[in-house]
Amino acid sequence: MFLVVAIFVIVYYYLKSGKIPYVRRVAGLDAIEEAVGRSAEMGKPVMSTIGIDGFNYWTLAALTILEHVSRDCVKKGVRILVPTGGGDSSYIVRPVAEEIVKDAYMLEGNPEDYRPEDLPFLSGQQYAYTGGVVGILQRAKPGACIMVGGHHSEAMNIAETAVLVGAITITSGTYVSNVAVLACASDYILIGEESPAAGAYLSKDPAQRASIRCQDIYKGISIALIILGTFVRTLGSSFFIQLLSS
């Protein structure tokens, strides 16, 4: 509980202070613009998926990325395909995704170009959804496939098909075995926190980017705890383990 309150305070502090620390380039996120640009040149659509889960942080992160991608696509006149469905909790995410894409068209001043049929619902079953996405990939041959969000085992079907149809693939894996295979299959991969931090990273607002600092602070704490804990444990005391268990 203490940890939660502390992290809350630190994030709030950094959001308010808005200091711009150095932020390392994340290749996968930088590549989004390039991928959309290339699709525009080739006159091909872009596929952007948001996963098959309900509102967990993977899906929410995907929605922030979708916001960015759809805005970019509309600006460059690229058709954007957002397949939805696939899971028991995914239905509630669909209206939000619709809203995001619709808003992108609205903000660019051409709401009449919005095509609701480009957000197909492919049932609530994981592999029916996958079959559908693979089919769309093969038929529409997009120039880029940005697969983020709560994807599970089906991630490889989507990523490898996207590679085979010649799309630039930007992916993120929700668990480590998925990350390992996606790292081999796709052009760019968002590992670990790169996906949840995408919203802050892509935002132009320095205050948002400053929040990335907090993540490093907590990773620093965890490294310190592991090293200190191991040191003390080696000396024979289990103080840190008890501290963490309390």
* Residues 19-78 interacting with other proteins (rule: CB under 8 A): 21-24, 26, 54-57, 60-61, 63-64, 67
Size of the site for other proteins (CB under 8 A): 109
Instruction: Name residue, tokens 């916001």.
Output: 67
Site residues (CB under 8 A) for other proteins, limited to 198-227: 199-200, 208, 211-216, 218-220, 222-223, 225-227
Please list, in sequence order, all residues whose beta carbon lies within 8 angstroms of the beta carbon of residue 146, skipping any fewer than 6 positions away. 32, 35, 46, 47, 48, 49, 65, 69, 170
194 contributes a contact to other proteins by CB under 8 A = yes
148 contributes a contact to other proteins by CB under 8 A = no
Nearest alpha-carbon partner for 26 in 61, 76, 54, 75: 61
- Neighbour tally for 200: CB within 10 Å: 21
Query: What CA–CA distance (Å, rounded) separates 149 from 87?
Result: 12
168 contributes a contact to other proteins by CB under 8 A = no
Site residues (CB under 8 A) for other proteins, limited to 79-118: 84-85, 88-89, 91-92, 94-96, 99-100, 103, 106-107, 116-117
Query: What CA–CA distance (Å, rounded) separates 219 from 87?
Result: 32
CB of 5 to other proteins, least distance (A): 10
CB of 139 to other proteins, least distance (A): 4
* Identity of the residue, 40 or 63, whose beta carbon is nearer to other proteins in the bound complex: 63
Please list, in sequence order, all residues whose beta carbon lies within 8 angstroms of the beta carbon of residue 37, skipping any fewer than 6 positions away. 76
CB of 153 to other proteins, least distance (A): 6
Spatial contact of 192 and 212, defined as CB atoms under 8 Å apart: no
- For 195, phi and psi rounded to 5 degrees? -75, -50
122 contributes a contact to other proteins by CB under 8 A = yes
**Using CB under 8 A, which of 44, 143, 152, 171 touches other proteins?**
152
Query: What CA–CA distance (Å, rounded) separates 227 from 32?
Result: 37
CB of 10 to other proteins, least distance (A): 9
**Using CB under 8 A, which of 48, 49, 171, 195 touches other proteins?**
195
CB of 38 to other proteins, least distance (A): 19
